[in-house]
Structure 1
Amino acid sequence: MKILALISFLIGLTAATGDDLHYVDPLIGSTAGGNVFVGASLPYGLAKPVADVDGQNTGGFSTDGSNVTGFSHMHDSGTGGNPSQGQFPLFPQLCRDNIVDNCRFGKTDRATHYIQDSVVARPGYFAVRLENGIHAEMTASQRTALYRFKFPETHASNGDTLDPVILLDLTDLWSSRQNASISLDADSARIVGNGTFLPSFGAGSYRTFFCADFTGAEVRDNGIWVNNRAGSEPKALYVTRGFNNFYLQAGGYVTFERPDDGVVTVRVGVSYVSSQQACTNAEAEVPAPGKDFARLEQEAVDSWSEKLSPIKITAGGMSDAMISAFWSGIYRTMLSPQNMTGENPVWKSDEPYFDSFYCIWDQFRAQLPLLSLIDPETQTNLIRSLLDTYKNEGWLPDCRMSLCKGWTQGGSNADVVLTDAFVKNLTNIDWELAYKAMVNDAENEPLEWSYEGRGGLQSWKRLNYIPYLDFDYLGFGTNSRSISRTVEYAYNDYGLAVVGKGLGKSENTKYLSRANNWRNLFKADQKSVLENGTDTGFTGFFQPKYLNRTWGFQDPIACSALASWCSLTSNPSETFESSIWEYLFYVPHDMAALIKLLGGPDSFVKRLDYFHTSGLADIGNEPVFLTVYQYHYAGRPALSTARAHNYIPRSFNASTNGIPGNDDSGAMGSFLVWSMMGLFPNAGQNVYLISAPFFEAVEVTHPITNCTATIRNSNFDPTYRKVYIQSALLNGRPYTKNWIGHEFFTQGMTLELMLGEHESDWGTRVEDLPPSLSDNQARDEATVGMHGVGMMGS
């Protein structure tokens, strides 16, 4: 009987789709704060051309109906805060009576509406038509953007055809430019230059270079412009901040004789090293810009198809819109970090260099574990890049963009990334170096811990928590987030213990002890009251604690979706971007101990239900992700499934506002992908929590082992009345655990789920629950008593 069921199951998989790239819609999340990058890019590509707007422009373009101010060549995707990158934008226009001083120069003056239904976005391609009739389309190679601007035939008052004009502006999206220079070649249609800019969420400054070539039309004239005037002489310009940081608007321009087809092609090479390298990049990647557009677009399509190929789905009647949301979520996880190997002037190295970790606090929970599964080669290179940063700058980054150190949001969460890769057996990584870097985070405090390492380590080691208003004279940083840093440091140290155990190190007892430090901020009698005075009915929450071990106070609902926003700079508090309510659940390594502390499984479930139904939970921010699935640890996996279906498709869907918050380099997209696949990772552990896929079946072919893992709903219901697992077979044998390990993928196992309309007893027994540190320690003690040898699970 089992053999027949398995044969039937495998036959059904022949319905899995082939190349699903046509489902990818880059415009999902392009408004309402999703901040996604919608333009052309290769996987992890540095060149990212798109139209920049004056509305929601953190990712460059938005479908908010605002005005286009230029077309620039590098962007980040899904970030919050200030707009990122967008340097050296081009702006095509037709100037009245062919007089260059009649052109519109500055961002505000030249801003032009785009035609909403003209926007076309697909992998490797973006196009839009402006209300002035100019049509722009663009594609990209790794370090080169390629544009085609088609100008309408328009006439001056004297009947002459208006000449196409293309400006280049020495600015960026944020107008953060500190200085810049530009040089135009009088004998060829080439402009080179560079500028120094500020990172949008970090310290210091960075310098980028460009090399722009124009083809397809005869050049009539070129020169520079400053403010609202231009001239063909001189051919070079340097600008800097002036008196009172005055921002001078300036750049270059080229005018053309209108070609018969109206098309002017612009190739823009970019680099972080030099203008010459930007030119070299462009010439190598796009040797024939007038002919290479179709080739580049096809190469982008091929690259994206290859990256998405490990996953196949059998839709089983699911809507095309949700299929699109799924594939688009995977696509966005590979826009950043960006592969800048060979583009790092800060240090010399033969190791890979990736940038735009923006930020690891957002990425480690779902995005990077997804890359470990479907693109482990790149994930390995990402980790090698992190370790090379440690070798050359002294610390693992928690956030990094444009060669700059980004602000640390919580703990040293690159430690979790390393631990996750370690327990999933990623190879070609120097694990001794990784362990050394993690120990450095745990033991040594940097002078400036606002952008690297951890602060408050004296108190962490002496008091076993981060105090409120800590006395920290060793280093400097934002002296806040004492609760969220405490719980994150505890998990970081747990990861260090896991890696150390695997490498045979002797310090594990110390780090396992520190992994329990979250307990020291739990105030058992603390109540939570809503702003209207209503008692939530729950007692026991984390609270800040002073150096003298007495309690401080932060309202448990503060910094939640029901109260005011709390960040590093806006209303800094003892929790970061979320409430005590939310951080109470952040004990990912010892959920059994947390559940016991909160009164047992029933009490825990009631508290988790209240959190998700009262408005306290912010599904648009990453700390909430794991809470959707933590019912598994209380023996109620069906409730995790119900919670996921509550958020999908209500908050995650295929609309332009189909992401509930900043995509954060693909974090939101990866939450959706994992949820729809029916598994969710507890990052840093070899644990995937099992739920029912949103499809009839999903296959994942591991790129290293080439083994194919399959999850199938044997009685899939596309109306989603039957979403609760009644029973499961793993490789044809009954399987009762509500979690599974990474070997499911590497060995190519098959998981068949029988679904029903109501919660069952599947996955509810104590022996079916995911592992927790306190359970493992209890087993270790028993093992030591019987055999004299202890083991630590992960």
Structure 2
Amino acid sequence: MKKILVLLLGIIAHNLFSQNYSQYVNPFIGTGGHGHTFPGAIVPFGMVQLSPDTRIDGSWDGCSGYHYSDSVIYGFSHTHLNGTGVSDYGDIMLMPTMGNPSLDNKEYSSKFSHKNEKASAGFYSVKLDKNNIDVRLTTTKRVGYHEYTFNNAGNANIILDLNHRDKLLEGEVRIIDDKTIEVFRRSEAWATNQYIYARIEFSKPMLESKVQQESEPLRGTTQPGNFYHGTQVKIAFSNKVKKGEKILVKVSISPTGYEGAGKNMLAEGKSNDFEAIRKQAVADWDKELSKIEVKSSDKDKLTVFYTAMYHVFTQPNINMDVDGKYRGRDNKFYMAKDFGYYSVFSLWDTFRGAHPLMSLIDRKRTADFINTFIKQYEQGGKLPVWELASNETECMIGYHAVSVIADAMAKGITGFDYEKAFEASKNSAMLDIFGLNAYKQNNYIAIDDEHESVSKTVEYAYDDWCIAQMAKILGKKEDYQYFMKRSQNWKNLYNPKNGFMQPRKNGNWYEPFEPREVNNNYTEGNSWHYSYSVQQDIPGLIAAHGGKEKFEQFIDAIFAAPDKTTGREQVDITGLIGQYAQGNEPSHHIVYLYNYVDKPEKTNAKIKYILDNDYKNAPDGLIGNEDCGQMSAWYILSSMGIYSVTPGLPEWQTTTPYFDEIKIHLEDGTTRTITKNTGKAELRKLGFENVKEFKDYKYEELTATPVIAADRIFDLNTKVTITPLNPNDKIYYMTLDEGDANVRKTFTAYKGPFTITKTTQVSAYAERNGEKSSIVTANFNRRPNNWAITVNSTANPQYTAGGNLALIDGINGNINWRKGEWLGYQGQNFEAIIDMKSPQQITKLSSTYLQDSKAWVLMPKKVEYYASNNGKDYILLKTVDNTVDPKDETIQIKDFSADILPTEARYVKVKAYFFGKLPEWHLGAGGDAYIFVDEISIK
């Protein structure tokens, strides 16, 4: 009895102590700069994120709908994204106004001032200057609560605009009675087919005073009142108010239907006491935030820490009704039994820190996430990559749901089907999408196979290691060995001459190579950022560099490099220390790599610098996108003295704790206390001290694929050199030239460079201790002509295709222009002159162009063909006009060909006129369009 009493007293004391952690939350952190957060009312992992919208243009810094630099509010919508890089959400937007109602957002919007704006955990308020209206917002998981105080007497309006922000595909408003309406919205943005239903209840009668839709209102067949529908639906609801009168509005939302919205309202929307709901929201936050208690005399540091936790707990969002009904990935309805079904999985970001943090402090919810993954696999055919509102956006790379699963299994988290999780993980790894077919066949991805080839190769390799860990836990020896071998595929892109992960093209290293260059061979980064991305085999990476001392120098080098990138401007790369980018996720583990070379003091110093300088109690207090909690999770873990460099291992890398004392309350009822004197051994296994270890199986070491070098296009001959990536490997090769179509050839030992004089395909593999590498194949083409070409336009350095000869080499670029076979010209016409060296009779001319409207690449307005015999005086032979709609977002290729009367000429001029400035309908409005051109043909 005494023990029970002591335990109860401890729980009571803890609860009393933890009641006010929400006071340190500042939702404005990250709303400025490039943090992309929002300040509105939310509860932990809630379906509703009720927040003001100051951005309706889909701009990058307006991804969340709000930016601190703005001064106009368009309305208050119920769904928002926390710190992403693509715009979406902003569903079910309401805006209070006064006077004669307008449905034009330029007129119903209002100026506001930050001095009249407040935000805290579960609460937001602002004064709308235009009509002197005070707005207060709070929420439950599924119901948003609005309180509008009209400080002047007159006609009050509440605007419902279904055309707010993203594209409305289908909308409905059903008038149930003078206080109740139902709303359906199906929209397209990042999620291309998003469904949301809502039930809206006003505290006083509000009647339609102004309506915009395609057709006249219809009488409802199943409900009394009017029924509005279409792709243009905006309604003003109005009534008279006295000075100081309040109108309360409750909005329940559902992904499944009106019935779901009604059930959610009954469960969470009965109260008319705004303050009671607000207090409950605060209590919900205090409960979550008190899982980690930190002590500090610096209130700004406490604010940064607890706001970081707040941002981690903002998503994933519960995405089912109170009865467990949810919309599956196949758009059918299901019931979740014994688990919560969630949405918004930014896995490329969050697998690194946010999910490992959750595996420590929220094991039950981690199991819910994985159960959601499994259901999405069963209903949609694969694990989520970047899932949003039951849509797979296919954004970013890898199949990092497997990291979350492997990490949970390694740390002993239960509550999901291990076998089914493994089945789903293996399925993701065996698909033939996004370069995986080449990856499986060749053990790496080349530029020729897929864009972002380096990033995809190294991240697939880490994910394969994760699947191997699952196989080990489940006793699946063959699967373990298969995926462990695949996890070494990074070795095929590791260039031992420079220590960088370098792209390969046509069997060779891609040149010219500049590790600072941001280009289409990397995902949101450059070679500096990805040359450390071997989290699954850091000892192997160290060995490849030649040992700890040399690898330490390589880590030093990223911090000492110039802090400017080259190549494409990439807004996501922020917080540069040298080339280390704290503002983007691929860098997040790099600081901890000093631990692996026995230099923890360097880890400690750099982490303290980042914690001191890159996280602040200010709107621009995040150094980069929040990215659904990852930026904040790095702060939380690092300030506790731990970080998961390799999710999937039940251990942490360590650093000096940032706070004097930290208490972590685990779900099993135990508490871990961390101080600056806590030993590294204790920190290393924190929370996973008793995790079972599983027996390793032996697996084969990967033999790296050799490099084949020669001139891809040559005149008379070229020398071919084949180089192993490991000097101990033996090389075998085979050639097939134009005359060998029916000749059976075999691989022979490579003894040294050789010369080819015809268009030839060279294949090779390496062998060491009986283990063969994959076969690499390269094609070397003898030029189909001896023409010369002069281009009087300047190609973008990102899109040179290896030089101007690519325009007349007989090799055609394909739909995936990111592979680098197209020449790209921005903001200028394209003009090229071909010298055929002697007069030729011409009957047909053609040049090929590509359109990818979303990427600013548009067909030329027209193409003109000219001929000349002296290279000075040209006559116009033919003009070919464009017939492709610039609004057509299908990626497509068009040959602008022209049959002409037989004409003798030595010179041909091709002139293509670029589209011009991007028009208002384009997201990049005002920017200059590109022309992408490849092969020019003369017959």
What is the TM-score normalised by the length of structure 2? 0.66
The corresponding residue for 1:765 is none
CA-to-partner distance for each residue in 1:436-488, whole Å, 9 max, x for gaps? 1111122233xxx4xxxxx3333223311112211xxxxxxxx3111111111
One-letter amino acid of the structure 1 residue matched with residue 503 of structure 2 = P
CA contact (8 A) 1:708 1:745 kept: no
Name the structure with the higher strand share: 2
Larger Rg: 2
The corresponding residue for 2:92 is 88
Rate the CA distance shift 1:555–1:129 in 2: closer, same or farther, 3 A.
farther
The corresponding residue for 1:462 is 441
One-letter amino acid of the structure 2 residue matched with residue 222 of structure 1 = E
1:90, distance to aligned residue in structure 2 (A):
0.8
Separation in 2, partners of 1:407, 1:619: 24
CA-to-partner distance for each residue in 1:588-607, whole Å, 9 max, x for gaps? 11111212222332332232
Matched, 1:23 2:24: yes
The corresponding residue for 1:511 is 483
The corresponding residue for 1:344 is 326
Give the RMSD, CA atoms, in angstroms. Answer: 2.8
In structure 1, which of residues 524, 529, 539 is the aligned counterpart of residue 496 of structure 2? 524
One-letter amino acid of the structure 1 residue matched with residue 326 of structure 2 = N
Separation in 2, partners of 1:405, 1:458: 20
Secondary structure in structure 1 of the residue aligned to 2:581: coil
Farther-moved stretch of structure 1 (255-264 vs 304-313): 255-264
Separation in 1, partners of 2:374, 2:466: 16
Map residues 264-343 of structure 1 onto 2, 5 A cutoff. Answer: 264-288=247-271, 291-315=272-296, 317=297, 319-341=298-320, 342-343=324-325
Rate the CA distance shift 1:68–1:559 in 2: closer, same or farther, 3 A.
farther
CA-to-partner distance for each residue in 1:546-587, whole Å, 9 max, x for gaps? 3x5322236343555xxxxx5xxxxxx111001111100000
Rate the CA distance shift 1:277–1:461 in 2: closer, same or farther, 3 A.
closer
The corresponding residue for 1:533 is none
CA contact (8 A) 1:223 1:232 kept: no
One-letter amino acid of the structure 2 residue matched with residue 135 of structure 1 = D
One-letter amino acid of the structure 2 residue matched with residue 74 of structure 1 = T
CA contact (8 A) 2:27 2:119 kept: yes
CA contact (8 A) 2:454 2:493 kept: yes
1:184, distance to aligned residue in structure 2 (A):
2.5
Uncovered stretches (5+) of structure 1, i.e. residues with no partner: 1-12, 154-160, 241-247, 450-454, 471-478, 526-538, 561-565, 567-572, 715-727, 730-734, 748-770, 779-794
Rate the CA distance shift 1:195–1:229 in 2: closer, same or farther, 3 A.
closer
CA-to-partner distance for each residue in 1:306-350, whole Å, 9 max, x for gaps? 1122212232x4x11011100110111111100113352334243
Separation in 1, partners of 2:398, 2:514: 21
CA contact (8 A) 1:21 1:308 kept: yes
In structure 1, which of residues 539, 549, 556 is the aligned counterpart of residue 507 of structure 2? 549
Rate the CA distance shift 1:586–1:665 in 2: closer, same or farther, 3 A.
same
Rate the CA distance shift 1:230–1:150 in 2: closer, same or farther, 3 A.
farther
In structure 1, which of residues 687, 699, 721 is the aligned counterpart of residue 663 of structure 2? 699
CA-to-partner distance for each residue in 1:691-711, whole Å, 9 max, x for gaps? 1111111111211x2221121
Map residues 575-586 of structure 1 onto 2, 5 A cutoff. Answer: 575-586=522-533
Secondary structure in structure 1 of the residue aligned to 2:185: strand
Matched, 1:113 2:103: no
The corresponding residue for 1:189 is 179
The corresponding residue for 1:37 is 38
Secondary structure in structure 2 of the residue aligned to 1:392: helix
Name the structure with the higher helix share: 1
Matched, 1:540 2:531: no
One-letter amino acid of the structure 2 residue matched with residue 519 of structure 1 = K
Map residues 390-469 of structure 1 onto 2, 5 A cutoff. Answer: 390-445=377-432, 449=433, 455-469=434-448
Separation in 1, partners of 2:354, 2:218: 49
Separation in 2, partners of 1:320, 1:588: 35
Separation in 2, partners of 1:589, 1:231: 61
CA contact (8 A) 1:125 1:297 kept: yes
1:212, distance to aligned residue in structure 2 (A):
1.1
1:218, distance to aligned residue in structure 2 (A):
4.6
State percent identity of aligned pairs.
25
1:655, distance to aligned residue in structure 2 (A):
1.0
1:121, distance to aligned residue in structure 2 (A):
0.9
The corresponding residue for 1:569 is none
The corresponding residue for 2:865 is none
Separation in 2, partners of 1:268, 1:120: 21
Separation in 2, partners of 1:744, 1:384: 22
What is the TM-score normalised by the length of structure 1? 0.77
Uncovered stretches (5+) of structure 2, i.e. residues with no partner: 1-12, 220-224, 564-578, 702-939
1:408, distance to aligned residue in structure 2 (A):
3.9
One-letter amino acid of the structure 1 residue matched with residue 155 of structure 2 = D
One-letter amino acid of the structure 1 residue matched with residue 307 of structure 2 = S
The corresponding residue for 1:136 is 135
Rate the CA distance shift 1:356–1:78 in 2: closer, same or farther, 3 A.
farther
Separation in 2, partners of 1:121, 1:180: 31
In structure 2, which of residues 205, 208, 212 is the aligned counterpart of residue 222 of structure 1? 208
CA-to-partner distance for each residue in 1:243-300, whole Å, 9 max, x for gaps? xxxxx4x411211221463211111111111123213312321113xx3312211221
Separation in 1, partners of 2:698, 2:529: 24
CA contact (8 A) 1:641 1:691 kept: yes
Separation in 2, partners of 1:329, 1:554: 41
Rate the CA distance shift 1:51–1:228 in 2: closer, same or farther, 3 A.
farther
Separation in 1, partners of 2:669, 2:174: 51
In structure 2, which of residues 623, 629, 653 is the aligned counterpart of residue 689 of structure 1? 653
1:667, distance to aligned residue in structure 2 (A):
0.8
CA contact (8 A) 2:626 2:632 kept: yes
CA contact (8 A) 1:677 1:693 kept: yes
